[in-house]
Amino acid sequence: MTPPSGRPDSSFSLSAEDRSRLRADIDADAFESLLALLPPQARPLLLRLAASEPDLLAIWDAAPALRDSDRGPSEADGKYHGPHLQMHVVPRLEDVTLSDPVLQKLLRGVFRENRRKDDPKAK
């Protein structure tokens, strides 16, 4: 299943370290296939969102869509240093929306089926 916009990057693969950091409810092979279809610059943020122990400041730094006024002041290095927010929503991989419907379907497919909390059979 390849999106109309491109071909998988056959040189991309998750390292053993990347795989070990993934949440237990994520199928590493399916996630790797999805990431291979995405531009290289999009992969680090999704990897951070899929981590079992996410680095929230790294996620915040990797999310260019966040406005500077919401992020607090930036230093000369362009990184986030001083929040002026008292709290913010912690982004999750489940919250990501991809503009390509094929990629969005692949993203939904990275979550293991037994993760559904609302399924009475899974309890």
List per-residue pLDDT tens for the chain, 123 residues long.
Answer: 444 456 788 899 999 999 999 999 999 999 999 999 998 888 988 999 999 988 877 776 766 555 444 545 556 665 555 554 444 566 788 888 888 888 999 999 999 863 454 445 544
Q: For residue 76, is it within any domain?
A: no
Q: For residue 83, is it within any domain?
A: no
- The residue among 70, 73, 94 whose CA lies nearest residue 82 is 73
Helix, strand, coil shares of the chain, percent, nearest 5, are 45, 5, 50
User: How many other β-carbons are positioned within 10 Å of the β-carbon of residue 115?
Assistant: 13
Q: For residue 82, is it within any domain?
A: no
Residue that the structure tokens 């607090």 belong to: 72
Q: For residue 123, is it within any domain?
A: no
Per-residue model confidence (pLDDT) at position 36: 94
Angle at 115 between CA 114 and CA 120, to 5 degrees: 70
Q: For residue 81, is it within any domain?
A: no
Per-residue model confidence (pLDDT) at position 58: 76
Q: For residue 117, is it within any domain?
A: no
- Looking at the structure of the chain, the number of domains it has is 1
Count of residues for the chain?
A: 123
Q: For residue 84, is it within any domain?
A: no
The pTM of this model reads 0.67
Q: For residue 12, is it within any domain?
A: yes
The CA distance from 34 to 102, in Å, is 10
